[in-house]
Amino acid sequence: MSVQLTTLDFINGLFSLLVISIAAIIGITIALKYLKYKRKLYLYWGIAYIGFYSPWWSSAFSFVSYWFTGNPLPLSLYIGVGILLIPLLIILWFLGFTEMIYQNKRKLLILIYAIIMTIFEFCIIYFLIVDPTVLGNKTAIFDIKYSLIITAYFMLINITVTITGLLFAKQSFKSEEKEIRFKGIVLVIAFLTYPICGIFDAGLDLNEIGLIIIRSLLMFGAIMFYIGFFVPKFFKKMFHLD
């Protein structure tokens, strides 16, 4: 017997799908710029950026599963989809980050996070097999309340991405070129939007309007991330960056 959707469930699933779709388009577009500019930063961060929206993959894929099968993803698959790729993404993120700054600390940073991520990954895989409820429990058809350890895991990722992103954006403010400084400002917006919206999304029981607002801001942040690298011509004219 299939489960019945409420309006909140539908909005949650639909806007999760929209969020990961926008993030995927942005990430793929940036990654493909590597073919033109041969800058590994674009390749690493483009791929990693898609994956950093993996907490929303679960509800989005569960939403799609519901429409094709009449049932959402089971708990273990729901959790696995949203978490298991994070270690690889963090390594890619640091590879991109250290392409530009902190090159001398690349090995140390990657080693530290590789150890932390490996420990988390083994714990997550173990509990997914033995008892996934240790990691979280569904609170709605397309939503879940994660345990304290997974919440701390996501916080570590959010803090890492935000701090490294802001450090990267900070480099732009040293330039005398208006366009580069503009990119820095836009990247700051992007790197702050992601964690703030993530905290609101995960920490609050949002109603339909709240979900639409938060998920729309997440999509806005993804677009800002792209503009922080490649400013469209009409933006250059609008802000007199030429």
Q: How far is CA 66 from the centre of its chain?
A: 23
Coil/strand/helix, residue 221: helix
Instruction: Give the pLDDT confidence score for residue 34 in this predicted structure.
Output: 96
Average pLDDT across the chain, whole number: 92
Q: How far apart are CA 211 and CA 19, in angstroms?
A: 11
Within the chain, residue ranges assigned H as helices are 7-37, 40-51, 54-69, 75-83, 86-100, 106-130, 148-170, 178-203, 208-227, 233-238
Residues 107-151 have pLDDT tens digits of: 998 999 899 989 989 999 999 999 999 999 998 899 999 999 898
Type of residue numbered 101: I
DSSP 21: H
Residue with token string 């949650």: 12
CB burial string 30-60: b at 16+ within 10 A, e below: bbebbeeeeeebbbbbbbbbbbbbbbbbbbb
pLDDT digit string (tens) for the chain, length 242 residues: 456 789 999 999 999 999 999 999 999 999 999 999 999 999 999 999 999 999 899 999 999 999 998 889 999 999 999 899 999 999 999 999 998 888 898 999 899 989 998 998 999 999 999 999 999 999 889 999 999 989 888 898 999 999 999 999 999 998 889 999 999 999 999 999 999 999 899 888 889 999 999 999 999 999 999 999 999 988 888 887 87
Q: What is the second-level CATH architecture of the domain 7-238?
A: Up-down Bundle (1.20)
Half-sphere exposure of 95 (CA within 13 A, CB side): 18
Q: What is the 3-state secondary structure (H, E, C) of 94-107?
A: HHHHHHHCCHHHHH
Give the number of other Cβ atoms within 10 Å of residue 135's Cβ.
24
Kindly report, residue by residue over 175-194, the tens digit of the pLDDT. 889 999 999 999 999 999 99
Tokens of 134: 């240790």
Q: Going by DSSP bridges, is the β-strand pair 136-140/143-146 parallel, antiparallel, or unpaired? A: antiparallel
**In the chain, what is the straight-line distance between the N-terminal and C-terminal CA atoms, in Å?**
60
